[in-house]
Amino acid sequence: MSDLTRTIEALLFLSPQPVNARDLAEATEATEGQVEEAIALLREDLAEGKRGLVLREVAGGFALASDPASEAAARRLLAKPRTPPLTQAQAETLAIVAYLQPVTRPEVARIRGVTSESAVQTLAERGLIEESGRSQFGAAIFKTTELFERLFGLAGLDALPNPSKFDPTPEDERELRERLLKAGEQRSEP
């Protein structure tokens, strides 16, 4: 396989849309004829059935697709629900619940300095925290779930990193203090 063929394969892999020969030529700084030859080589290489990809010509361009023999496995994999990453507010809330559990939403809000209703609700919907009772004042008390431990690879809550072992250098401490003060000021602005 030539360098140009490998580059075209990489570009097709990276592109979410079919790419035409002209755009491939421009990206690779090759002629359209050279690109067409490289595509022919790539098509031959993929047609041998030794790989899990095939080259498709669609919508006026070229695209890599999974081999039809992999369809059933691909459907099972892609049928799993995907969850977006945690926002900063959700991560902060999750850390507070993990280290201070059982903890109420008002306590989380007091520690964060802002309301945490949305973050708590989202974490509960994702199954990372759950209600574990009520305080004497009627506030819901939250704790982490087994799913939290599984997702973070913890054998138990005692496997959480020990925050007292975090020993920042004076420079790190100054930077952290400045960042926290700045974040607090931004949150208190209307």
Q: Where are the domains of the chain?
A: 3-67, 88-188
pLDDT interval class at 185 (50, 70, 90): low
The CA distance from 120 to 141, in Å, is 11
The CA distance from 97 to 108, in Å, is 7
H/E stretch holding 129: strand 129-134
The CA distance from 21 to 143, in Å, is 56
DSSP state of 18: -
pTM for this prediction: 0.48
Q: Is 118 helix (H, G, I), strand (E, B) or coil?
A: helix
- pLDDT tens, 52-86? 888 888 888 898 888 888 888 988 888 876 767 88
Specify the CATH architecture of the domain 88-188: Orthogonal Bundle (1.10)
Provide the pLDDT for residue 1: 65
- pLDDT tens, 1-39? 689 999 999 999 998 888 999 999 999 999 999 999 999
The CATH number for 3-67, chosen from 3.40.50.2300, 3.30.420.140, 1.10.3720.10, 1.10.10.10, is 1.10.10.10
Contact by Cβ (8 Å): 103, 96: yes
Return the C-alpha torsion angle 22, 23, 24, 26, nearest 10: 90
